[in-house]
Every structure is written in C-alpha cells, then in structure tokens.
Amino acid sequence: MSAPHTTPGSTGGSETPGPLHGGPDEEYTPERLATMTREELDLLGARYDGVQVLHVDPAPEPGSRVEKAAVRQVAMTFALAGLSAFAAFVVYAGSGWFLPDWQWDITEGGWSALFTPLIGGLGGLALTLVGVGMVLFTKKLLPHETAVQDKHDGSHFDRVTTGASLMGGLNTYGLARRKLITRSLVFMGGGVGLMLLMPLGGLIRNPNVGNPLGTTSWTEGMRLLRGDGSPIRPGDQQPGSLETVFPAVPGGNLESDAATMLIRLRPEQVSLERPREGQDDFGYGDYVAYSKICTHAGCPVSLYEQETSRILCPCHQSQFDVTQGAKPVFGPATRPLPQLPITVDDEGFFVARSDYIEAVGPTYWNRERI
Amino acid sequence: MARTATAPGVPTTPLGKAALEIDDRLIVAGPLRRTLNKVFPDHWSFLLGEIALYSFVILLLSGTYLTFYYDAAMTEVVYEGTYAPMRGLEMTAAYESTLKLSFDVRGGLFIRQLHHWAALLFVAAIVVHLLRIFFTGAFRRPRETNWLIGVALLVLSFAMGFTGYSLPDDLLSGTGLRIVSAIILSIPVVGTWVHWAVFDGDYVGEEILGRMYIVHVLIVPAILLGLIAVHLLMLVKQKHTQFPGPGRTEHNVVGNRLFPAFAVKAGGLFFIVFGVCAALGGLVQINPVWLWGPYNPAQVSAASQPDWYVMFLDGSTRLFPAWDINLPGNYTIPALFWPTVVLPGIIFTLLAAYPVIERKLTRDEASHHLLQRPRDVPVRTSLGMMALAFYIVLMFSGGNDVIAEKFDISLNAMTWAGRIGLVIVPPIVYLLTYRICLGLQKHDREVLEHGLETGVIRRLPHGEFIEVHQPLGPVDEHGHGQLAYGGAPVPKRMNQVGGARRAIRGFFSPIEEPARVELEQRRDEHGLSAAESRELTTSGRPSDGGRPQEPRD
C-alpha cells in the first residue's frame, strides 16, 4: 500500500480506495484466495450472493457404464442434429442445382411440394435435437444441485437515506415557496404538451362532409353490371338465382359499399313477397336488388338458400329473408339489407332508379340522422 | 507450481489474462457472479413464460426476414409471378408481394409459415403462463405490477396478431379488416371520427395497410420489447415464487443456480421451441393465402375464422342478440358495439384488476412468495375456471358454423346453444370446481391423518378385515397422523414414499448394480420419509385406537 498522495492539478484526496470500496477484498486477500480450491471459491462467491448449495446429487461416476451410456446418448443426439441440419442445407442449396427445382409447379406433388416440408422438417428436427441433447446433457451428465438463495426485504437504511437525498434536493429547488415558477411551469407544460400532440391533428378528418357513409356510386339510370362488366337483361337469370352486380363506373367492382345482389324470385316466392313499407315498387317484375354489404359488420352476405328465401352472412350468421324486404330473421343483424330501386332502360338492361335511399353497411352513431 | 512464480491471484492462463483485461475496464466480475449464482426454481410450470419469450425471439428473427420482401402498398397491380392459377389477376401490391414471398423466394414460404406458427405459440404461451400465475396466486403482493405488465403484453400480442395477419391483404384478412372497420364505426359518438382518423377516410382507403405495417413492425414490437425487459427485470429484482415444500420459505428460493445447469436447460428449451416452430412452419400449412385469393369487398368464403386468440370475440359477436339502442335525437348505439368493444374492455379490465379485487375481498395485504395449490383457494380457482368456461363457450361459438357443418347440426341451434351455454355453463363450472377443490383438500387431509392406502388387506384375529394404511409421519395414541397440511403435495402412492426403489437404468441390459442403487437410495433418504420406520402397522381408521394392535418388533 502506497501512502496517500495528491496528483498535480487535483485539489487533494486519496488515490487509494477508501474503506467503503471493495467489500470482501479486505478480508480475503489475494494470498488467502490463492490457497483455496476452485470449489471453495465457487461456494464462497455463492455465499456472498446469498446462495447456499444444500445438496448435490453427484454426476455418474467417470468411466462407469451409466456415464458411458449417457455420453453415447448425448453425442448421438447432437450428431443426428448436425446430420439433419446438413440435410436441410443440402435441400435448400441443392434444389435447382443437382436436385429438381424448388419453385411452384402446376403438377401436384413432386419436388416443389416437398421443398418446404423438407427444409422445415429437417431444420426443425435439427433444432429440436440440439435442444433435446442439451436437456439430456444436464439431466444425465451434470451433478444435480439443490441451492437455496435468500430473499431480502427492502432495507430501512436505504429508504431513509434515499428519501433524504431526494427530498433534500427537491427542497433546494424551492418550488413550494416560489409559486410563480410552479404556476408558469404548469402553464408551460399544458402549452408544450398540446404543441407536441399537434401533429396528430393531421389524422383528424371530418366524416360528415358529403355523407360518404350514406352514399354509393349508384345513380339514376346507372346500369347493373356483372363482375366481368357485362350488363344484364331480365331474361338472363333463372328464377331462384342470384347475381352480384356492380355500378357501371370505373373500378365499380372493387368499391367497398356498392356491391348489390340481383335476385330473381321464384313464382312461389313472388306470391309470398311482402316488401318494406314504401318500397313496393323497388323491384322489377320478379327481380329484387339488395345491398350485399351486411348491416351488421359489413361482410358480403353471400350464401343464398333459395328454398328458404334466406341469405346468410358467413361472418356472424345473420340471416335475411328476401321475400320480406331482406328483413333480418336470425342472428346479430338489426336492420334489413337496403333495397336498390331498379328498372330497365330503353335497351332492356337493368338500371338503378336512384342510389340506395339509406346508408348501406354497418350501423353507426348518427346513421339515422343523415 | 506456477503460482509461486508470480504474485498470488495474478492469472497465468491466456483466458485468465483476457478476463482480467476485460474486468479491469468494465468491472463486470461482481455482477456476472451474482447472475451466475441466481437460483431458479426447478418446476416445469416456470418454463411457460420462457416459451413465450423464446417465441418472441423467433418472431423478431423471422419477421425481420419477411420485411425484406413485403410491400405494404395498396396500389392495384396485375400478377405475373410463378403461381399460374393467379396470373393476370388484379390484386394489391401487398398481396402480390406476399405471393412473391411464398412462391418466388427460396424458403420464403417456410419463413412465413414459421412466423405465423410462432405467433400462435407466442399468444398461447402467454395465455397458459397467465393461467399458471393466476391459479397459483403468483400475482399477489408484491407482484401486482408485473401482473399488470403481463396483461398489457397479452393485449399487445393480440394487436400484433391482428395487424400481422391483416397484412397479406388476402380475402380472409380483408374480411377481418372490414369487420374491424365496422367495429370502429360502432363506437358511440366518436366512431366515425375514429374511423376517418385510422383509415384516412371511408373503408378501405389507401393508407391502412401502410399504417398497420408500421404498427406491426415498429410501434408495437418496440413497446413489447420494452415491457418484456421491465417484466424480466422485475422478476430478477423480486426473485421467483416457489411452490411450498421442504426447506422452502417466504424468504428463500430453492432450485438450481443459473450456471451451469439451468442455463443449459433453458438453452435447450429455446432450441426445442425453435425446432417445433420450424417443423410446424415446414410441415403444417397455415394461412395459404393463394387459396383465399386477393381481397374483394364483394366476396367472402364460408368458415372465415380469425386466428384462435381472436375467436372468442368472433363468438361473442355471433351470439349477441340484435339489440340496437335507439337514443332520442335519432342517435344509435349499434348492437356490434357491445360484444366487440365493451365485452373485451370488461374482460381485460377485470383481468388487470384481479389482484386488487382479491386483495380487497380477502383483506390479505401481506407479501407472498410461496405459491398456493389451486385446491387450497377454491374460490379463486372456481372463479378462474368460470372465466375460462365463459371464454371457451365464446371460442367454440366463434367456430360454430364449422361445428354445425361437420356434425350436421342446425346453425341456429348452435347459436342458441352458445347463447344459453354462455349463461349456464360458467356457474355450473364454478360449482363443480368448488366441489372438486374441497374433495381434493379432504383427500389430502385424510391421507395425512390416516395414512396411505397400501392395498394390503389383513385379517384381524377376531375375523375382521382391514386395509392396512401407511402413516406418513409420527402417529398419536389413536393412530392418527400428526403432520399438518403445509400446502405441498401429499404423497398418494406407496412408491412416492419409497415403497419400491427406483427402476434400474439400462434399456437392453442393466447398466448399474441394483445393490448400489439400493444403498444410494438409503443414503439419500432425508426429511419426512426418513423419520419414520417403514412399517405397515395400523389401518389408520379412528376406531383402531382402542383395538388390540399387532405387536411391534
């Protein structure tokens, strides 16, 4: 130990660590530590971490048959893992080189259908075997020790001293006394907070401009087109059939609210038909057109069972009766599917008489007000 | 010896010198030793959270790979790739990039499926981990904060799942997105405004995929990563809980040190989790988006179910009756709002608040580090099973169309079965669980009092037959065991108390000597079972007290 000295430029103070530094180094000198075995040192360190090793089930005796068997098992597992990993690599790299091409092929089966299962299966097997080997290694070849570690509650000393440091520091700020600063800080915090949130304002857009939820592309005289863009005449559909139709505007077949079901009722359905009030003339002959967008959650209602006149939504199983103005008869939907008023134009093709008279799709807060 | 040549303690080996160089600069020896010496409880149920952690690591790795190819653009393009059935079809660039990833990138499909399987496993592991924490009371003081973080992780993992499976923009995910759009619209007062903010206008717009993408790959993963770090730091700080048992107290942890044994075991588990995900990703097809086709708002396929963890919300939506609430002024609260926003809100609030609720009801303010067996807290166990039953009814209802089709049941009957089941199954499960808990408790106490059933029938001199019972510890003059129940498992079979020695190792032929095993076991007998002589003495029945006992030697 050298005597304390001061370095030029410093205003004094010891270069050697003070008594608070180092902990057990005082008690356990290098000389003393040098006399201890590795095992003793391990247990000594553990004791400083509050850990005591209670009991050790020894590993199998070196050279015993038990050990040899375990070593063989672990080595075999790792070797298999390596083999499987190399095989996965060969399949990955060799496909399209000395193995058939991996890319998708119109023919069923074959190498392209095997490629993904092979790299996944072999790769997965390799990784799993690595894990199994590691677990076998610890279970069969390591001594099993039972250790116990202490749990400490919070220290009163720490609490009191930390509290003193914190409160002492805060006290020197003097904010409780200097009210003007506190108030200006509160005001500043509000202002700066608002300012930082301000950019999010760019996300906010008014949903009530132009009633976008209540309108679709359908207008008076617009033709009803099939998905492929062809118009439809009254004679085109069999009784009992359903055709999904779209407005005759560019991209109409991808519009999210415009899809409409054109249904030709069977004669016995026509006799049962009871349209919604004020919508008696929305159909054309034995044809009716309803919105395809479910009034519950917006899925396309697609499954039409003509024997029962029901349309089922596959998402949540709402059922609508086409002979009763597409009124919901089962499931979570609350409103009928909106009906599109249709007629035929001069050339005999189906056209809309107007847009839907109500908002299509799911219900929302102010739907009834628009 | 080499030591004498230099000052004591100065390393002589190259490795030791390198370690000294590092520690001179970073002073890590102390913290490293503390880490290596940390004791982990040795029980399988403590590994469930680790499975979640490892699947998260796998998700980060595989997800990063997927971002190299995925394109979140919603512009319409015409497909010209390898997959012939779709050539010439119009689709979004997002869906096209997913097809490209699946068909034109070597091993891309494998990584995509691996990512999906790991995601399912991630949520499943979180849920099972949560159930373990719940049923053993590990959430009690001082761990309420970590419980809250855990619930937040669960909710965020749902958000990860939803934004993730919406990205391919296939018919299935587009349908899911449409339903979410309807759910947002159903929120009273602000629904349309929120929808316009999220989708940048009406459904579907041009922005939503790009926004969900950045939420999925940056915002939520960053929060998850931070919360997982806090979750683990708190675990290390507060140390593990443990099941009650010999030598285990509220002030210690009994188990293995991290190094050498536990680290290798945990590493092994990581590789097994990785391997299982990889095998699933290669062998078991998941979400074949090329079969669903590109999204079109006018099309849908039957049996469109979300991933398993969202099925309960699908189920609640199917079961909820058609109850719009019309308010004065022509305002409407849509029926959709209750099962999709209010119900999960209530479920997750109750889940998050459960530790506080239980503390208030039981007035138990003490710190607990020893776990409880579910049977010892019948009310909590029954509440948990009741909640689980509620969840499972909802989950099956989420697939009720598939069940109806496969088992040829009326779909409407399935819906009604779900509605009625949701009301009556949970209370029945509560009562059953409560009775089972009490029964298990009574049986534990009976074994402690009267001993183990040995299966040995003995005829007494006066002709009565009794079954001989093996007491677990010292008995009083009436033949009753004097051990009190301490919250730990009670042995129920003779072999658990050393009725027979363990099996001799060796598959084809024995590789150890039976006599040595016998000796080893005798040496190892400690604690409870060593204290008493293994003698079959009494029937353990109360009435034995006054009877003539067989002479003891």
User: Between chain A and chain B, how many beta carbons pairs sit less than 8 Å apart?
Assistant: 326
> What pLDDT is recorded for position B525?
59
Q: In degrees to the nearest 10, what's the CA dihedral of A50, B269, B219, B228?
A: -20
Q: Which chain A residue has its CA at the smallest distance from B281's CA? A: A120
Q: How far, in Å, are A190, B224, B234 from residue B121 at the CA level?
A: 44, 16, 24
Question: Confidence band (pLDDT; 50, 70, 90) for A3?
Answer: very low
* Whether the Cβ atoms of residue B88 and residue B79 lie closer than 8 Å to each other: yes
> What pLDDT is recorded for position A52?
92
> In whole angstroms, what is the distance from residue A363 CA to residue B248 CA?
59
- Cβ-defined contact of A64 to B512 (cutoff 8 Å): yes
Residue count of chain B, please give it.
Answer: 553
Q: Which chain B residue has its CA at the smallest distance from A293's CA? A: B298
Q: Are strands A303-305 and A144-150 parallel, antiparallel or unpaired?
A: unpaired
> What pLDDT is recorded for position B387?
97
Least confidently predicted of A16-30, B349-363, B407-421, B431-445: A16-30
The shortest CB-CB distance from A128 to any of B279, B281, B335 is to: B279
Q: What's the rounded mean pLDDT across residues A55-71?
A: 90
Mean pLDDT computed over every residue of chain A? 89
> What pLDDT is recorded for position A107?
74
Chain A residues with beta carbon closer than 8 angstroms to that of B321: 332
- Cβ-defined contact of B261 to A121 (cutoff 8 Å): no
Chain A residues with beta carbon closer than 8 angstroms to that of B368: none
Structure tokens at B305: 């179910």
Digit-coded pLDDT (tens) for B415-427: 999 999 999 999 9
- Cβ-defined contact of B39 to A147 (cutoff 8 Å): yes
- Cβ-defined contact of B298 to A300 (cutoff 8 Å): yes
The shortest C-alpha distance from A299 to chain B (Å) reads 6
Phi, psi torsion values for B410, nearest 5 degrees: -65, 135
> What pLDDT is recorded for position A16?
57
Q: Which chain A residue has its CA at the smallest distance from B275's CA? A: A124
Angle at which helices B343-362 and B144-166 pack, to 10 degrees? 170
> In whole angstroms, what is the distance from residue B450 CA to residue A75 CA?
49
Q: Which chain B residue has its CA at the smallest distance from A32's CA? A: B8
> What pLDDT is recorded for position B511?
85
- The 3-state DSSP composition of chain B as helix, strand, coil percent (nearest 5) reads 60, 10, 30
Digit-coded pLDDT (tens) for B107-140: 999 999 999 999 999 999 999 999 999 999 999 9
Q: Which chain B residue has its CA at the smallest distance from A364's CA? A: B186
Q: Which of residues 110-169 of A touch B (CB under 8 A)?
A: 116-135, 137-138, 142, 144-151, 153
Using CB atoms within 10 A of its CB, is residue B286 exposed (0-12), middle (13-18) or buried (19+)? middle
> In whole angstroms, what is the distance from residue B261 CA to residue A138 CA?
6
The shortest C-alpha distance from B503 to chain A (Å) reads 13
> What pLDDT is recorded for position A23?
59
Whether the pLDDT of residue B314 is over 60: the answer is yes
The shortest C-alpha distance from A175 to chain B (Å) reads 31
pTM to 2 decimal places:
0.91
- Among residues A70, A63, A146, the alpha carbon closest in space to that of B524 is found at A146
Q: Looking at B222-367, which runs of residues are DSSP E strands? A: 252-257, 325-327, 331-333
Number of other CB atoms surrounding residue B306 within 10 Å: 20
- Cβ-defined contact of B179 to A315 (cutoff 8 Å): yes
Whether the pLDDT of residue B383 is over 60: the answer is yes
- ipTM of the complex model: 0.90
- Cβ-defined contact of B302 to A244 (cutoff 8 Å): no
Q: Which of residues 296-315 of A touch B (CB under 8 A)?
A: 296-300, 302-303, 312, 314-315
Chain B residues with beta carbon closer than 8 angstroms to that of A34: 3, 8-9
> In whole angstroms, what is the distance from residue A291 CA to residue A257 CA?
8
Q: Which chain A residue has its CA at the smallest distance from B507's CA? A: A69
Using CB atoms within 10 A of its CB, is residue B77 exposed (0-12), middle (13-18) or buried (19+)? middle
Mean pLDDT computed over every residue of chain B? 90
DSSP string for residues in A240-295: T-EEEEEESSTTGGG-TTT-EEEEEPPHHHHHH--PPTT-TTSSBTTEEEEESB-T
Is the Cβ of A257 closer than 8 Å to some Cβ of chain B? yes
Question: Confidence band (pLDDT; 50, 70, 90) for B163?
Answer: very high
Digit-coded pLDDT (tens) for A124-174: 999 999 999 999 999 999 999 999 999 887 889 999 999 999 999 999 999
Whether the pLDDT of residue B544 is over 50: the answer is no
Whether the pLDDT of residue B352 is over 90: the answer is yes
Which tops the pLDDT comparison, B472 or B391?
Answer: B391
DSSP string for residues in A155-167: PHHHHHHHHHHHH
> What pLDDT is recorded for position A245?
95
* CATH 2.102.10.10 intervals, chain A: 224-352
Q: How far, in Å, are B132, B311, B317, B319 from residue B395 at the CA level?
A: 20, 5, 11, 11
- Cβ-defined contact of B255 to A207 (cutoff 8 Å): no
Interface test with B, best of A74, A197, A243, A254 (most B CBs within 10 A): A254
Q: Which chain B residue has its CA at the smallest distance from A314's CA? A: B302
Chain B residues with beta carbon closer than 8 angstroms to that of A120: 110, 113-114, 278-283
Chain B residues with beta carbon closer than 8 angstroms to that of A95: 106
Question: Confidence band (pLDDT; 50, 70, 90) for A206?
Answer: very high
Chain A residues with beta carbon closer than 8 angstroms to that of B270: 131
The shortest C-alpha distance from B34 to chain A (Å) reads 6
Q: How far, in Å, are A247, A277, A292, A326, A350 from residue A340 at the CA level?
A: 11, 14, 10, 12, 11
Share of chain A above pLDDT 70, in %: 94
Question: Confidence band (pLDDT; 50, 70, 90) for A34?
Answer: confident
Whether the pLDDT of residue A24 is over 90: the answer is no
> What pLDDT is recorded for position A188?
97
The shortest CB-CB distance from B175 to any of A92, A212, A299 is to: A299
Q: Which chain B residue has its CA at the smallest distance from A81's CA? A: B275
- Among residues B173, B405, B212, the alpha carbon closest in space to that of B291 is found at B173
Q: What's the rounded mean pLDDT across residues B303-321?
A: 91
Q: Which H/E stretch holds residue B177?
A: helix B171-185
Q: Which chain B residue has its CA at the smallest distance from A332's CA? A: B322
* Whether the Cβ atoms of residue A247 and residue A216 lie closer than 8 Å to each other: yes
HSE-CB at B167 with a 13 A cutoff on CA atoms is 27
The shortest CB-CB distance from A297 to any of B251, B261, B336 is to: B336
- Cβ-defined contact of A135 to B300 (cutoff 8 Å): no
Question: Confidence band (pLDDT; 50, 70, 90) for A179?
Answer: very high
DSSP string for residues in B461-510: TTS-EEEEEE-SS-B-TTS-B-PPP-SSPPP-SGGGGTSSPPPPP-SSS-
- Cβ-defined contact of B299 to A131 (cutoff 8 Å): no
Interface test with B, best of A128, A129, A335 (most B CBs within 10 A): A128
Digit-coded pLDDT (tens) for B223-244: 999 999 999 999 999 999 999 9
Digit-coded pLDDT (tens) for A266-303: 999 998 889 999 898 999 999 999 999 999 999 999 88
Chain A residues with beta carbon closer than 8 angstroms to that of B107: 92, 116, 119
The shortest CB-CB distance from A302 to any of B114, B271, B300 is to: B300
- Cβ-defined contact of A142 to B333 (cutoff 8 Å): no
Chain B residues with beta carbon closer than 8 angstroms to that of A215: none
Question: Confidence band (pLDDT; 50, 70, 90) for B534?
Answer: very low
Q: Give domain A224-352's CATH superfamily.
A: Rieske [2Fe-2S] iron-sulphur domain (2.102.10.10)
CATH class for the region spanning B42-245+252-300: mainly alpha
- Cβ-defined contact of B314 to A316 (cutoff 8 Å): yes
In sequence order, the β-bridge partners of residue A287 are A264, A284
Which tops the pLDDT comparison, B525 or B355?
Answer: B355
> In whole angstroms, what is the distance from residue B375 CA to residue A355 CA?
64
> What pLDDT is recorded for position A105?
79
Give the domain ranges of chain B.
Answer: 42-245+252-300
* B427: alpha, beta or left? (left if phi > 0; alpha if psi -120 to 50): alpha
Give me the helices (H) in chain A, please.
Answer: 30-34, 38-48, 65-94, 111-141, 156-173, 179-197, 267-272
SS3 state at B6: coil
